[in-house]
Structure 1
Amino acid sequence: MLSDIADSFGMQTPQVGIMLTIYAWVVALMSLPFMLLTNKVERKRLLICIFALFIASHVVSFAAWNFTVLVISRIGIAFAHAIFWSITVSLAIRMAPAGKKAQAMSLIATGTALAMVLGLPLGRMVGQYFGWRTTFLGIGAIAALTLFYVIKLLPKLPSEHSGSLKSVPELFKRPALVSLYALVAVVVTAHYTAYSYIEPFVQNVAGLSANMATFLLLVLGGAGIIGSVMFGKLGNRHSSTLVSSSIGLLVLCLALLLPAAQSTVNLTILCLFWGIAVMVITLGVQVKVLALASDATDVSMALFSGIFNIGIGAGALVGNQVSLHFEMSSIGMVGAVPALIALIGSVLIFRRWPVSLEEQHNH
């Protein structure tokens, strides 16, 4: 919806695109501090507060009378996002029955994938027919419904294993964990360099319609579901192999983005493999992070979410600079460079520290 928002405030699309970087970097900066501030709060109450903030901020987005107000409302949503992702994965794993922890992870991932699949095209369609403000209002309404179910269905969940400020330097003394965090930052930067600008790329470089852009976003997201199902089946035993081969696949997809843009079929197939790769990488690294920091799950996930968002912001910024100063057609090749570095890194890391989630939990 960047183009529509730009039009309504009389701005250029790349100027509005900076909103993505601000949002992602606020999440990155605030994930850990907020997690530590709330680490003693009972989890159900915390979720209720997060949702209240999320809903209120979307109402402000809907009413935003200028771009500054819109950015401020997005920062409110970023605050909610920062805490939400720090606690949900470990809550899901905690509520999962024994031996079902990898499945709990892949259910959360499937939810995330579905959100990406349905969220982007639905948001675009609502925005096209009723204006971008209605999209934000709709998200607020769905969140209000979710809040109702959180209040009704969740049991009281006292905070446990969340870790404290003391666990941060402890975690950074674990070289395997630090290497994984670095890997996440590089691979997410690579992915978002191209992904942030996929819509203008499809329209301006490949010369395809706006509807085709929506369709390709659907394919990318839908492929994520395939990736999460694959990971649910194979992730317990083969996470290292899966992650490294998926990073290899990401390198190929980014390098071939421009040649594939000559044909709709090729571009669709490429988006399918791209979506599978990104989902498997995200899940695989999360499983490994949790295995290496089972004594401080919330702190380790807050750091993971923060570093992930540094990558999103950096990728969006690189994509933005490439589009403004070079050719938008080269976003794929530029993204392939950090992806290749990540591939080499992942092989070295998994050789040095082989570990999987279930092994750790059984010790």
Structure 2
Amino acid sequence: MKIPLRHYLSLLGITTAAFVFNTSEFMPIALLTDIAGSFSMTTAETGGMITIYAWVVAVLSLPLMLLTCRMELKRLMLLVVAVFSVGQLLSGIATSYPMLLAARIVVACAHAIFWSIAAPLAAQLVTHEHRPMALGMIVTGSSVAMIFGLPIGRMIGLYAGWRMTFLIIAGIALAALLYLAYMLPQRKQDKPFSAHDLPQLLRNPALSCIYVMTALFATAYFTAYSYIEPFLHEIASFSPTLITVALMAIGACGILASLLFTHGYGRHRFLLLRFVLPCVFAALLLFQAASISMFTMLLLCMFVGMVATLYNILFQAELLGLVMGPGSTVAMSIYSGIFNIGIGSGTWIGSLAAGHGHLAHIGYIGAAIAAITVFFCWHIYLPTIQGKRY
């Protein structure tokens, strides 16, 4: 059964929004040095903005989703993209670090809801057989942000100032808002989720395990990734242009992960689930060793981009298989919040390492946390879901 043209075009609109949101979320990482310089701060001090952003998303994801879960999904999506656009505009005109921080918090509020509804909404637009493709499109939007959005934003920031990058993102978000307003069909929830339903949702052992693993994975990964720009510059001796190439390589391999998921999840689900986290562990463990040459570091960046993206899309699909109906948006909001707890924790740990002269060792720190995640996956999650098919 083919996807109706309007639904496919709606998926493209959500994919574009995912591109914009993902570009914005990680843009400070690509411009950390320049933002710090404009406010006469160190990169470790300015990196606190990434931590605060992530923790705001973590704290607000569930409350905001419960507050808005009775809204029709199209109206909610349009509201979220509009708030996001305002936050980007304020980021672009920020004249002080506190003002920039406040603008990023506005963006974080929109982020908290967007990633809670994007995947469930995409899944609702297609039949069950096309769900991997729909989720793959959303992840592709995120990956394209890493290939083109993040490096192009970095180049714009280097040549026209980091504020211009945020202003351009605001303009693209406005265009996405107008497109979605015209193209996205209305999607009412059959039965609004209530806070009274939360205990039953959280009693699902497989879902609880996904949440624990996600917190650990995000902490491990972002301990290294949040400071990859100064790592590549100071430890791997990359030029600014080569850093841009490395960031593009990470995003490009995210698309490979999306393709691997789309074509392999149905037939090789347990194989992918079993080996994705050991691959994350190995990649982080090799971070410092790979920095001895440009070639090995670029290869590792490509591998990191693939396995990190594959983890995210795999376990979003697992979550949507475990939780059907109106509870899926709330379950996804908890996932998003927990993921951002991990981002904030990883960024904080990375800042401590960088601030105390251990920038070269951030990969080892991340690998130690990833090892715990592998244990949870192999010894708790996989036995719990053995024999279950979605």
Bin the TM-score by the shorter chain: over 0.9
Residue aligning to 1:349: 380
Is it true that 1:322 corresponds to 2:353 in the alignment? yes
CA distance in 2, matches of 1:291, 1:356: 13
Residue number in structure 2 paired with 1:334? 365
Determine if the alignment matches structure 1 residue 235 to structure 2 residue 297: no
Instruction: Tell me which of 304, 323, 327 is aligned to 1:274.
Output: 304
CA–CA distance in 2 between the matches of 1:108 and 1:330? 33
Instruction: Indicate whether 1:45 and 2:75 are aligned.
Output: yes
Shift of 1:155: 1.4
Single out whichever of 56-65 and 314-323 deviates more from structure 2: 56-65
Length-normalised TM-score, structure 1: 0.96
Q: Is 1:108–2:138 an aligned residue pair?
A: yes
Q: In the alignment, what sits opposite 2:22?
A: none
Aligned partner of residue 41 in structure 1, secondary structure: coil
One-letter identity of the residue aligned with 1:91? L
Q: Supply the distance in 1 between the matched residues of 2:91 and 2:187 (Cα, whole angstroms).
A: 31
Greater mean deviation of Cα atoms: 236-245 or 25-34: 236-245
Flag the 1:180–1:133 CA change in 2: closer, same or farther, 3 A.
same
Residue ranges of structure 2 left out of the alignment (5+ in a row): 1-30
Q: Answer yes or no: is 1:248 the counterpart of 2:278.
A: yes
- Identity over aligned residues, as a percent? 38
Aligned residue number for residue 93 of structure 1? 123
Equivalent runs, 1:1-363 vs 2, <5 Å: 1-160=31-190, 163-295=193-325, 296-354=327-385, 359-360=389-390
Query: Alpha carbons of 1:178 and 1:162: their partners in 2 closer, same or farther (altered >3 Å)?
Result: farther
Q: Is residue 162–residue 299 contact of structure 1 (8 Å, CA) maintained in 2?
A: no
CA drift of 1:52 comes to 1.4
Indicate how the Cα distance of structure 1 residues 121 and 161 shifts in structure 2: closer, same or farther if over 3 A, else same.
farther
Unpaired runs of 5+ residues, structure 1, are none
Q: Out of 4-13 and 296-305, give the one that drifted further.
A: 4-13
CA-CA distance at 1:294 after TM superposition:
1.4
Counterparts of 2:265 and 2:194, CA distance in 1: 29
What do the CA deviations read for 1:116-167 (whole angstroms, capped 9, x no partner)?
A: 2222101100101110000000000000100110111111221346622122
Q: Which moved more, 1:150-159 or 1:224-233?
A: 150-159
Decide which moves more: 312-321 or 236-245.
236-245
* 1:241 Cα deviation from its structure 2 partner: 2.1
CA–CA distance in structure 1, aligned partners of residues 44 and 286 of structure 2: 24
Q: Single out whichever of 284-293 and 195-204 deviates more from structure 2.
A: 284-293
CA distance in 2, matches of 1:155, 1:140: 24
Q: Secondary structure at the match of 1:176?
A: helix
Aligned partners of 2:349 and 2:149: how far apart in 1?
24
What is the distance in 1 between the residues matched to 2:202 and 2:334?
Answer: 10
CA displacement 1:19-51 (0-9 Å, x = unmatched): 000000101111111101001111111112112
* Partner Cα separation in structure 1 for residue 173 and residue 210 of structure 2: 32
**Post-superposition shift, 1:355?**
5.9
Point out 4+ residue stretches in structure 1 off by more than 6 angstroms. none
Contact 1:240/1:354 (CA < 8 Å) preserved in 2? no
Task: Note the C-alpha offset of 1:71.
Answer: 0.4
Asked if 2 retains the 8 angstrom alpha-carbon contact of 1:48 and 1:151, the reply is yes
1:354 deviates by 2.2
Does the Cα contact within 8 Å between 2:205 and 2:384 map onto a contact in 1? no
| d(CA) in 1 for partners of 2:239, 2:387 | 44
CA contact 2:70–2:193 (8 Å) conserved in 1: no
Distance in 1, Cα, partners of 2:328 & 2:79 = 21
Query: Residue by residue, what CA displacement relative to the aligned partner does 1:89-127 show, whole Å, maximum 9, x if unpaired?
Result: 100000013411111111111111111222210110010
RMSD (Å), alpha carbons: 1.4
| Separation (CA, whole Å) in 1 of partners of 2:307 and 2:387 | 19
Q: 1:308 to 1:160 in 2, by over 3 A?
A: farther
The residue that corresponds to 2:9 in the other structure is: none
Q: Matches of 1:101 and 1:227 in 2, distance apart?
A: 16
Instruction: Name the amino acid aligned to 1:347.
Output: W
State the shift of 1:326 in Å: 3.8
* Distance verdict in 2 for CA 1:121–1:339, change over 3 Å: same
